[in-house]
Amino acid sequence: MSQTGSIFVLSAPSGAGKSTLAKRLVAEMPGLIFSTSFTTRAPRPGEQHGREYFFVDNTAFDQMVAEDGLLEWVQVYANRYGTGKAWLREQVAQGLDVLLDIETVGAMNVKAALPEAVMIFLLPPSAEVLAKRLRGRGDTDESQIMLRMAHARHEVEQYSHYDHLVVNDDLEVAYRTLESVVVAERSRKSRMESAAQRILQTFNS
């Protein structure tokens, strides 16, 4: 009883716990995978093509943009990152759910192109707690923290564009909430219609 998969988009300001929760979600939920982005940056030690990223040169990336082969893409300093349309379609067609861990600009581009994408925004419990978490990392000076907090406010202002809002006050509660969103989406009528029809046909035998 195979069905097509769903696309989940997860966004959050830096320090909200998105990476920790996303990695656990993919590790513990069968059939859910991370979206593998294309990038023009060079591989770091230990990274493999097709695992962390699809590593391509600028010419190949330009061609993908020109041919409308990317669902969304962004430039981060000297490098570009994007989500391949063909790769994403292939995973969903196989019945896999795909999690896109992306910032709000890319998320809005995904939503515009794929209205059926399930949009999830992870919120910190407050600005004060978020600032404390950022300072607790010990790897960022105060001026950078202030810049990140200003950017975080802009990102949180985008919450109304998302379907589900999860507050990460308690990591375990936040994880269970994210998990429940995936489970609920998997049982939507639109996704389970073919399975229901096949079951119905067994009553005729």
- Give residue-wise pLDDT tens across range 171-186: 999 999 999 999 999 9
Residue 187 lies in a domain: yes
pLDDT profile of the chain (205 residues), mean per 10: 82 94 97 96 94 95 96 90 94 95 92 95 96 85 90 96 97 98 94 91 89
Residue 126 lies in a domain: yes
Residue 162 lies in a domain: yes
Question: Structural domain tally of the chain?
Answer: 1
User: How far is it, in rounded angstroms, from Cα 81 to Cα 52?
Assistant: 12
Residue 29 lies in a domain: yes
Residue 86 lies in a domain: no
Residue 106 lies in a domain: yes
Q: The domain spanning residue 184 has which CATH number?
A: 3.40.50.300
Residue 175 lies in a domain: yes
Q: What is the pLDDT of residue 164?
A: 97
User: How far is it, in rounded angstroms, from Cα 28 to Cα 46?
Assistant: 23
Q: Which structural domain, as residue segments, surrounds residue 198?
A: 7-35+96-204
Helix ranges restricted to H, 34-141: 58-66, 85-93, 104-113, 127-136
Q: What is the pLDDT of residue 1?
A: 37
Q: What is the pLDDT of residue 194?
A: 87
Q: Do the beta carbons of residue 168 and residue 16 sit within 8 Å?
A: yes
Residue 49 lies in a domain: no
